Amino acid sequence: MSSVTKHDLEDYEVEEANLAMIFDRYKDKFTTLPKEKGWMTQDLYKYQGFWNQSRNVVSVETVMATQDTFQARPTDIYLATLPKSGTTWLKALVFATVNRNMYKNKPLSTHPLQTSNPHNCLPFVECEVLRTSPTYVEAHSPRLFATHIPYTSLPQSILDSGCRIVYMSRNPKDVLVSLFHFANKLRGKFSDLLTLEEAFDMFTRGVIPNGPYWDHVKGYYKAGLEQPTRIMFLTYEDMKMDTAKCLSRLAKFLGCPFTKEEEAKGMVEEIVNLCGFENLSEVNKHGTLSIGIPNQAFFREGKVGDWQNHLTTEMGRTLDRITKQKFHGLDLIQ
Ligand code: PAP
């Protein structure tokens, strides 16, 4: 397995210690922030206009540390999403595409995505501050990172570096339903389950990890309009409708377009299948991430429109109304 996914027990111990130090360093700064009940963590804190988890690897504390210390490079690639908008899928697609030459002459069964969760293959930039020896980072160029940080809170060095950013958005009703199920899978550990009504109320008030939903999407969308060569805006729905076409566009944007020869050999379809819901959900049936989340929690239905099986018609209408109002004047309604 590549060094990308190799992570020793010793590394985790160092990261745990670094995380504890970061929690301690920022505790006075975040405890005064506005607070609301959380989804996957006890509380959410409002920082720079967005709700953040705390005491977690992707949290208000690690965002603050990332803003203070992270150094971006012009060649970096960042995959930005709101949780439950297709992060895992996008990580897999970009990892497989950008690193395709590294694995092309090896048996498919040895590809990291056939043995490991995409979250282990492509890290969140929020977690990079925990690493004392950034092995992943140094071993690969371009460096690939994911992030849930809203555009306006990105570390200045990312904004200044001129690096590329890919944003994936998903329709809010499916994000709500996906988040509701995910949160309840994890909540058993520390609290009662959320009811759908409660989740709906929190979502419509904007109180979700890294939300409000609409502000997060709008931030990247507008930045993408201003800087189209730097920021690519994708939707989960378009990606679902024609994955091969979207992936080809994505590869071009990332500076590694598929060649005619690769296309003729079926490379695009190979990556689409490798990263498809069917394959990844099978690979990730067992095991957990180092932070204790079961791998299978990231693979539920993988469909467009599943909200119809969960939300009431009235809930759907309310969300549509809010979305129409918040995205007024933008070509963003699905
Ligand atoms: P994260 O932000 O916490 O990493 P994320 O990967 O964005 O989560 O969201 C998981 C959603 O993506 C799930 O949606 P659902 O609850 O509506 O089913 C999950 O099923 C879906 N998903 C994961 N992998 C894929 C994939 N390969 N293709 C399509 N959808 C996927």
Residues, the chain: 334
Q: Which helix (H) or strand (E) holds 53?
A: strand 50-53
pLDDT in tens, 75-84: 999 999 999 9
pLDDT at residue 14 above 90? Answer: no
In a domain, 1, yes or no: no
Quote the pLDDT of residue 182.
97
Among the listed residues 7, 119, 140, 148, the single catalytic one is: 148
Backbone angles phi, psi at 53, to 5 degrees: -70, 165
Quote the pLDDT of residue 239.
98
Q: How far apart are CA 51 and CA 33, in angstroms?
A: 10
Two tokens, residue 123: 């890290």
pLDDT at residue 55 above 60? Answer: yes
In a domain, 253, yes or no: yes
pLDDT in tens, 149-161: 999 999 999 999 9
Place of tokens 């201003």: 226
Q: How far apart are CA 239 and CA 56, in angstroms?
A: 30
In a domain, 232, yes or no: yes
Label residue 104 by pLDDT band (50, 70, 90): confident
| Count of domains for the chain | 1
pLDDT in tens, 281-306: 999 999 999 888 999 999 999 999 99
Q: What is the mean pLDDT of the chain?
A: 92
Pocket of ligand 1 (CB under 6 A): 81, 83-89, 174, 178, 181, 275-277, 280, 298-302, 306
CATH number of the domain where residue 249 is located:
3.40.50.300
Quote the pLDDT of residue 8.
61
Question: Is 148 among the residues known to form the active site?
Answer: yes
In a domain, 132, yes or no: yes
* Residue whose CA lies nearest to ligand 1 atom number 29: 302
In a domain, 62, yes or no: yes
* Residue whose CA lies nearest to ligand 1 atom number 24: 89
The whole-number average pLDDT for the span 256-261 is 98
Label residue 130 by pLDDT band (50, 70, 90): confident
Phi-psi sector, 162: left (phi>0), alpha (psi -120 to 50), beta: left
Quote the pLDDT of residue 190.
63
Q: How far apart are CA 85 and CA 285, in angstroms?
A: 20
Label residue 13 by pLDDT band (50, 70, 90): confident
What residue numbers bound the domain in which 42 lies?
Answer: 6-326
Top mutation candidate among 117, 176, 178 for ligand 1, by most atoms within 8 Å of CB = 178
pLDDT in tens, 17-48: 999 999 999 999 888 999 999 999 889 999 99
Ligand 1 closest atom vs CA 178: 16
Quote the pLDDT of residue 136.
62
Label residue 7 by pLDDT band (50, 70, 90): low
Quote the pLDDT of residue 4.
44
Label residue 2 by pLDDT band (50, 70, 90): very low
Residue 254 Cα to ligand 1 midpoint, Å, equals: 22
Q: How far apart are CA 61 and CA 24, in angstroms?
A: 9
Residue 11 Cα to ligand 1 midpoint, Å, equals: 27
In a domain, 331, yes or no: no
Nearest to 63 by CA among 118, 26, 17: 26
* Residue whose CA lies nearest to ligand 1 atom number 2: 83
In a domain, 123, yes or no: yes
In a domain, 211, yes or no: yes
